[in-house]
A and B are shown apart, each in its own frame.
Chain A
C-alpha cells in the first residue's frame, strides 16, 4: 500500500491514540514536576477590650488568585518523586541510620505508602499470575475431555467471572464473604470466632483479593488454552499412547511444548492486567489494609480538598516505569526476531 493511502487510512485512529494516549502520558510527565500551591497565610490582628491577639489565617483571596494564575502549581522538580509519599529517600536514610536490625528497617520502609502499595501490587502479581495459568490450564484440559454436546453451556458458565467488570465481580464476592454474608457467617461458626471478619485481618484481606484475582482471570487463560488444545496434532499423541506414555507424560512432553507460545502470551497479558489491580480494592472496601499503585493514584485524584495532580502524576510515572520493566523482555525479543526476519 502506498504511503499516502496508508496515511489517510491510519490518520483517524492514529490521531485518537496520539491525542488521548500519547499526549496524556506527556502531560502526566509534566504535571509530576509541579506541586500544588501552598496556601497564602496572613497575620490578622484582633483587638478586644482585653488586649490584642495575632492569629494566622488563610488568605482565601490571594490563595485562589495564585491558583488561578498558575493552575499547574509551583515547580517542584523531582521534589514530589522523593517526598514521603513516593520514594521517600530521606526517610529511608533515616531509618537505615536509626534502626538496629535489618528486619526493623524493612518493617519501617514497608510502612511508607509507596512501598506498601508496591509490595501489595507485586505480591498480587506474583500469586495471581502463576495460579491463573495453572487453573486455566486444568479447566481447559478437563473441559476438553467432556462430551462435545454439553461443552457450550459449560464454557458459558466458566467465562462468567471474566465478563463482569472487576468492581461488580468483587462486590458479588464481597457480599458473600463479609461477616453478614453466607460464607462469612458460616466461617465464623466453623471457627467459633464471632469477630472473625475480612476487615479485621490484613492477611485475610490480601488472601481474599488474591483469590478474587484468580477467580476473575482464570477464565481468560482457560479460553486461550482451550482454543490452543484444539490445535494439538493427533498423530504424536496416538504414537505416545501406543508407546505406553502415561497421561501426565503426554501432557508434559506433547501438549505443553505445543501450546508453549500461547502460555507466554497469556502470562504476559495477565501480568499486565494484574499490575494495574485497583477496582477489587474498592469492591472489597479494603483500602485500610491493601493498597495498590493504581489505588494510590485514584486516591490522589479523588482527594476532597484539592486534587493532588503532582502526586498522582509522580506515582503514574513510576507505574509506567514498572510496566516498562515488565514489558522489556518481550520487546527485546520482538526486536531481535524482527531484525533476524529482515
Chain B
C-alpha cells in the first residue's frame, strides 16, 4: 500500500525497520546458528566452559585439526544410518503426494460441482476430521494394525498419511476448483464428453497452479510428520524425523547429539530450498480458504 497522501514520519520509519530486523533475527538466527554449529565438535557447540568456543572452534581445532569438520555428517549418514531414513522419507513423501493428489482432485472436483446439501455436510465433516489431533487417531490405529500384522511397514504409513491429509487437500482444492468457471466443463458436457473426460481434458490442464500448491502441502505434511511415523513404523523403516528423535536418546554417548544436529540440518535444507523455489504457491495455499472469508 503506497499512499500518495500518506506521509510516514521518520520516527515511524526507523521503528518499523528496527522491528523487522529484530523479527527476522528471531526467526532466522536459530537456523543459521544450528547450521554453523553442525560443523563443530560437540565440545564446542555445547560448550560447558565457554559458549564463545562455538565461534572460535577451540575444541574442533584440537580434535580434528581444522576449524570446520564434517565428521558429524559423515557419521550420522553412515554409522547412524541416516541414509536409510532419508531414503524412507523420499519413498513415503513421493507416494503420499501422488496418491493424495489423485484422490483429492477427484473428490474436490465432485464437491465443487455438486449443488446438493450433502456436499456441504461432507465439507463440514472434513473440517472436523481436520481438527482431530493425529495422536488420537494413532491410538485408534495401533491395536487393529497389530492384529492385522500390518504395523511397522511403509505402505501402511503411506495410506494413513494420505487419509489424514485428505481433509486439508479437499478444502484447498475445493476452493481452487470453485475459481474455475462452471461453463468450461458444461460446454464440454454438451459436446458429448463424460464427466470424467471433462475433468481429465478440460479442467485439469487449467488447474496446475492449484495442484502444485496442494502437492506442496501434502509434501510438507508427509516430510515433517512425527506422530504417525514415530509410532507406526518400526526402527528399520523410520523416516528422518523419528530418526532425529532416536539420536537424542536418553543415554546419549558423545557423538550422538552432534548426529542429531547434522541430521536436523540435512533434513531442513531441502525443505528450505523447496519453499524458496515455490514461495508464491505456499502463500497462495495458506490464504486460499481464508481471504474469501
Contacts and interface: CB of A to CB of B under 8 A. Distances in A.
Contacts of B1: 144-145, 229, 232, 234, 237
Contacts of A224: 286-287, 290-291
Q: Give the size category of B's interface with A.
A: 35 or more
Interface stretch (B64-72, B73-81, B139-147, B205-213): B139-147
Interface string B9-40: 00010001001100110111011011001000
Interface of A: 1, 3, 5-6, 9-10, 12-14, 16-17, 19-28, 31, 71-72, 138-139, 142-146, 152, 154-161, 163-168, 171-173, 175-176, 178, 180-182, 185-186, 215, 219-220, 223-224, 226-229, 231-232, 234, 237-238, 241-242, 247, 261-262, 265-266, 272, 275-276, 278-279, 282, 285, 293-294, 297-298, 300-302, 307, 309, 312-313, 316-317, 319-320, 323, 326-327, 331, 334, 338
20 contacts: A1-B113, A9-B107, A12-B106, A12-B107, A13-B103, A13-B170, A21-B167, A26-B140, A163-B282, A166-B226, A167-B241, A176-B30, A180-B47, A227-B286, A238-B5, A276-B133, A282-B245, A298-B227, A316-B136, A317-B136
Contact of B163 (A19, A157, A232, A265): A19
A257 B166 CA distance: 33
Say what secondary structure dominates the interface of chain A. Answer: helix
A16 B31 contact: no
B138 interface: yes
B11 to A, nearest CB: 12
Contacts of B150: none
A252 to B, nearest CB: 16
Contact of A25 (B31, B137, B170, B287): B137
A72 B6 CA distance: 69
Nearest to B107: A13
Contacts of A157: 24, 27-28
B139 A12 contact: no
Contact of B28 (A9, A160, A231, A307): A160
B253 interface: no
Contact of B226 (A165, A172, A185, A265): A165
A28 to B, nearest CB: 4
Given A13-B170, A241-B6, A313-B139, A164 B268 contact: yes
Contacts of B162: 16, 20
B48 A180 contact: yes
A309 B142 contact: yes
Contact of A31 (B51, B134, B143): B143
Given A10-B122, A16-B159, A309 B143 contact: yes
B132 A25 contact: yes
Contacts of B34: 172, 175
Contacts of A316: 135-136, 139-140
Contacts of B272: 160, 163
Interface of B: 1, 3, 5-6, 8, 12, 16, 19-20, 23-24, 26-28, 30-31, 33-34, 37, 45-48, 50-51, 54, 102-104, 106-107, 109-111, 113-116, 119-120, 122, 124, 126-144, 146-147, 159-160, 162-164, 166-167, 170, 195-196, 199, 220, 223-227, 231, 241, 244-245, 248, 260-261, 264, 267-268, 271-272, 275-276, 279, 282-283, 286-287, 289-291, 293
B166 A13 contact: yes
Nearest to A165: B224
B124 A331 contact: yes
Given A144-B1, A301-B142, A154 B20 contact: yes
A205 B110 CA distance: 48
A30 to B, nearest CB: 9
Contacts of B167: 17, 21
A331 B125 CA distance: 10
Given A13-B104, A331-B124, A139 B23 contact: yes
Contacts of A1: 110, 113-115, 195
B227 A10 contact: no
Given A173-B30, A180-B46, A262-B290, A327 B133 contact: no
Contacts of B160: 20
Given A167-B226, A172-B30, A242-B5, A20 B139 contact: no
B28 A302 contact: no
Contacts of B26: 215
A138 B27 CA distance: 15
Given A175-B45, A279-B226, A5 B140 contact: no
A72 B147 CA distance: 10
Contacts of B260: 171
A309 B267 CA distance: 32
